[in-house]
Amino acid sequence: MRNFFRKLTGSQLIIPLFSLLLLIVFNLIRDVSFFSISIVTNNQGYPVLSGNLISILNGASAVAIMSIGMTLITSCCKGQDISVAAVAAIAGSVFVSVLRSREITIPVIILAFLYACLVSVLFSLFNGVLVAVFKIQPMIATLILFSAGRSIAYWINGGATPTISNPLLAAIGGFIPGIPIPTPIIIMVIFLILIILVLKFTTLGLYTQVVGINEGTAHLNGINPVLVKLLAFVISGICVATAGCITVCRIGLINHETLLLDAEMDVILAVAIGGTALSGGRFNLYGSVIGAYIIQALTVTLYAMKVPSAAVKAYKAVVIIIIVVMSSPVVKEFIVKLYKRIFKKETDIKAAANTA
Amino acid sequence: MGRNNNMLTGKLKNRRREPISNTNLLMSITVCTFFGMYLFAMIVWGGGFLNPQQFLDLFNNNAYLLIVACGLTMVMISGGIDISGGGITALVTMVCVVYLDDHGGTVLGSMLIALGIGLAFGLVQGILIAYLDIQPFIVTLAGMFFARGMITIVSIAPRTAAHEEFLKLKQARITLPGIGYYGKSGNFIPAQIEPGVIVAITVVIVVAVILKWTRFGRNLYAVGGNSHSALTLGINVKRTKFFAYLLAGLLSGIGGYVYLLHTGAGDAANAAQAEMQAIASNIIGGTLLTGGVGNVIGTLFGMLSLKTITNIVIASGLTKPYYQSITTGLMLCFFILLQSVILAVRERGPVRLLLPEWLRFGEIKRGEKK
């Protein structure tokens, strides 16, 4: 039991899991019906799952997908990409502009998605080259696209905010007929499995962490840090394009100003809550994904408590501060000390009892 | 580290042979760029650029940004980041308007409230970052969220101040003697500045003095350059960082009041993206996010350059807002690359730019000197 506890406290997953648990317990006490899941018939006549839990899983999928790429970038570049939401807007604009020019069929959607991926990867690589080759701090380098990205998205569609309505796109953003689970959740799961397989069967994960922990050592051991960093940005580009396309499909229009607005902040938060140090090094992919769900769960909980949507940010900030204070090294040390002192007393009493 | 050579050993070396420090080099590039750009605009477009009022409007419209950016300069020199500036600015405007109109407050009271809000944010953020060792990005991000959320809790609808004394202060203008322009009917209109500009310039001077001549200012550079060395030199790293965030918060509060003096309205959309513009001003002004390098005069010219390029884009007929943000992005890109190249050339350590042979002009220069 003691071993298990030590392992748990040493793990990076402790904070995200604990926060999630806290949220669940809070909701259980507040209102048990928060967790109810029902099957309702949607407007197309198919039975679909509905409930707060589903909306949490569904709503967080875009941020969760982006947080995968952000985790890799954070790990190896020791900094964050703040342009992800702007690049997602660009990818979404490209996706829509391809779809608008043709009749929408499945191959065209795939083509549009690939095209969006390509553009998004190119923009990501621009960031990547600045970071890896020119050795500029990631936050500064991505500030360029952060300030210019949404304008580029605006320019792609000629300044318009076109709507696209099509049953096929509605299926991607909502429900595939016959399957009661929202499609974004399925895409998210497929994406996560793919990335986990890549990390498990290749050395990408190891190399990424090595570059993040000590670039010089990585170089001496025959790892090319520039290549690893560029690769992280390429993967992030694909993640961002996926997230952008899903969101476009869900809301059925592209608005370069509001598409995934402030999502970069949520993504970075998800990574931080997930236990990956924002200063690079060891990463925790599951933690980041859980972090994304924590943020969404928090938002949905606040909505359920009838907090006005504009004020949600303030409550979110308080919860974030509580979470980061809990995970702060100083506080952690203090708790460990406290725990040890209590534990030592117990063993002392036991030892005394034994000798007596 | 190499960057602080000049500062730490300045008095031991012969002044003449000492190379210009990174801080001063990056700053002088920005100053030259700004004057070059403005001269270019004056020659090509003339018109508004020849009008002294338009130059002064750069200050009138952006005094708050300058104040927020000055606070950020101190934080960035210490190696941190503060993105809560815009949020605090907007919160101060809203709280002050509500206080003045609904609670029958006085102008002095509203000023104290502005300072109080700024100090409170700075205090909490400083403690969390310096003493609890939490990443500054997350803490100030939470600060920004909190401030922006609080605005809507205070008042959902945008408010406009109607307090008489405050409006008098808001409409106060300071006429500059001898400077002005001739209106369409040929009469001489003297150039005017708002009281907020005086505040902003005072803040720039005070911060410049703090950075240059006080122990706290020098400690900031030491902490940002290498916090371990600073610690072994006996500098209280935690306290230095704490005061940097405290001052940044306080300046954001002052910036909020200056914003209110300029627009006279409290709105959740006030000072949107001010934090990013402040960061951009700092970067263009030669302050590095890695810490240890920077100057508040550079920040001033960084802000002026950032706003001048927007004016130039508008003057050249590209009035759509998206052209402005694309040019801002390009300008940032140019300065960031320039700094990267300059620092990589000057640094003799293992960090070197991975450029092809023919682009490494810095090494050839160094060889020539020897």
pLDDT, tens digit, 9 for 90 and up, residues A249-273 = 988 888 888 888 888 888 988 998 8
* Residue that wins the pLDDT comparison between A302 and B12: A302
B152 → chain A, closest CA residue: A311
Q: Residue B360 — pLDDT band, cuts 50, 70, 90? A: low
* Residue that wins the pLDDT comparison between B319 and B201: B201
CA–CA distance, A98 with A102 (Å, rounded to integer):
7
SS3 content of chain A, % helix, strand, coil (to 5): 75, 5, 20
pLDDT in tens, A221-252: 999 999 999 999 999 999 999 999 999 998 88
b/e B8-45 (16+ beta carbons within 10 angstroms → b): beeeeeeeeeeeebbbbbbbbbbbebbeebbeebeeee
Share of chain B above pLDDT 90, in %: 46
pLDDT in tens, B121-159: 999 999 999 999 888 888 998 999 899 999 989 988 888
**Residues of chain B found within 8 Å of residue A330, distances taken between Cβ atoms:** 131-133
Answer whether residue B286 shows pLDDT above 60.
yes
Placement of tokens 């990443």 in the chain: B135
Answer whether residue A207 shows pLDDT above 50.
yes
For residue A348, being part of any structural domain is answered with no
**Number of domains present in the structure of chain A:** 1
Interface test with B, best of A90, A150, A151, A302 (most B CBs within 10 A): A151
CA–CA distance, B330 with A342 (Å, rounded to integer):
59
Q: Name the residue among B153, B320, B328 with its Cβ closest to that of A148.
A: B328
Answer whether residue B351 shows pLDDT above 50.
no
Name A240's Cβ contacts closer than 8 Å, sequence gap at least 6.
A66, A69, A84, A87, A88, A91, A120, A124
pLDDT of residue B367: 42
**N residues, chain B:** 370
CA–CA distance, B291 with B79 (Å, rounded to integer):
4
B305-319 average pLDDT score: 87
Q: Is the CB of residue A239 less than 8 Å from the CB of residue A190?
A: no
For residue A190, being part of any structural domain is answered with yes
Q: Residue B22 — pLDDT band, cuts 50, 70, 90? A: confident
Answer whether residue B180 shows pLDDT above 80.
no
pLDDT in tens, B181-236: 777 777 788 888 899 999 999 999 999 999 999 999 999 999 998 989 999 999 99
A329 → chain B, closest CA residue: B133
Answer whether residue B358 shows pLDDT above 70.
no
Query: What does DSSP assign to residue A43?
Result: T
- The dihedral built from the CA positions of residue B140, B146, B152 and B154, taken in this order, carries a sign that is negative
A331-339 average pLDDT score: 84
Q: Do B276 and A143 touch (CB under 8 A)?
A: yes
pLDDT of residue B356: 55
* Phi-psi domain of B186 (left: phi exceeds 0; alpha: psi -120 through 50; beta: other): left
Answer whether residue B47 shows pLDDT above 80.
no
Q: Do A314 and B146 touch (CB under 8 A)?
A: yes
Residue ranges per structural domain of chain B: 27-347
Q: Say if A323 is an interface residue toward chain B (CB within 8 Å).
A: no
pLDDT of residue A5: 64
The tokens describing A12, both together, are 């990076």
CA–CA distance, A35 with A40 (Å, rounded to integer):
15
B254-270 average pLDDT score: 91
CA–CA distance, A57 with B338 (Å, rounded to integer):
44
Helices of type H across B45-84 = 52-77
Q: Is the CB of residue B78 less than 8 Å from the CB of residue B244?
A: yes
The tokens describing B172, both together, are 């106060």
Q: Residue B354 — pLDDT band, cuts 50, 70, 90? A: low
pLDDT of residue B119: 97
Q: Residue B18 — pLDDT band, cuts 50, 70, 90? A: low
Neighbour count for residue A130 (Cβ, 10 Å): 23
For chain A positions 245-284, those within 8 Å of chain B (CB to CB) are 265, 268-269, 272, 278-279
Q: Residue B70 — pLDDT band, cuts 50, 70, 90? A: very high
Q: Say if A140 is an interface residue toward chain B (CB within 8 Å).
A: yes
CA–CA distance, A97 with A76 (Å, rounded to integer):
34
CA–CA distance, A297 with A192 (Å, rounded to integer):
19
Answer whether residue B369 shows pLDDT above 50.
no
A309-318 average pLDDT score: 85
pLDDT of residue B368: 41
b/e A237-248 (16+ beta carbons within 10 angstroms → b): bbbbbbbbbbbb
pLDDT in tens, A17-50: 888 888 889 888 888 888 888 888 877 777 888 8
Q: Residue B82 — pLDDT band, cuts 50, 70, 90? A: very high
pLDDT of residue B26: 85
Answer whether residue B165 shows pLDDT above 80.
yes
Q: How distant, in Å, are the alpha carbons of A205, A217, B350 from that of A223? A: 13, 9, 17
Q: Say if A313 is an interface residue toward chain B (CB within 8 Å).
A: yes
pLDDT of residue B301: 95
* Mean of per-residue pLDDT scores for chain A: 87
For residue A242, being part of any structural domain is answered with yes
CA–CA distance, B160 with B146 (Å, rounded to integer):
22
* CATH match of B27-347 with 1.10.8: no
Please tell me the least confidently modeled range out of A55-59, B169-173, B223-227, B357-361: B357-361
B332 CA: distance to closest CA in chain A (Å): 6
A156 → chain B, closest CA residue: B322
For residue A332, being part of any structural domain is answered with no
For residue A13, being part of any structural domain is answered with no
CA–CA distance, A341 with B3 (Å, rounded to integer):
45
Q: Residue B365 — pLDDT band, cuts 50, 70, 90? A: very low
A333 → chain B, closest CA residue: B132
Please tell me the least confidently modeled range out of A243-257, B7-21, B108-122: B7-21
Q: Which helix (H) or strand (E) holds B333?
A: helix B321-346
* Residue that wins the pLDDT comparison between A231 and A166: A231
pLDDT of residue A1: 58
* Mean of per-residue pLDDT scores for chain B: 85
Q: Do A330 and B141 touch (CB under 8 A)?
A: no
For residue A269, what are the domain limits? Answer: 53-293
Query: What does DSSP assign to residue B182?
Result: E
Q: Do A154 and B290 touch (CB under 8 A)?
A: no
A125-129 average pLDDT score: 95
Residues A232, A118, A110: CA angle, nearest 5 degrees: 120
Answer whether residue B12 shows pLDDT above 90.
no
**Residues of chain A found within 8 Å of residue B132, distances taken between Cβ atoms:** 325, 328, 330-331
pLDDT of residue A333: 84
Please tell me the least confidently modeled range out of A347-351, B107-111, B251-255, B277-281: A347-351
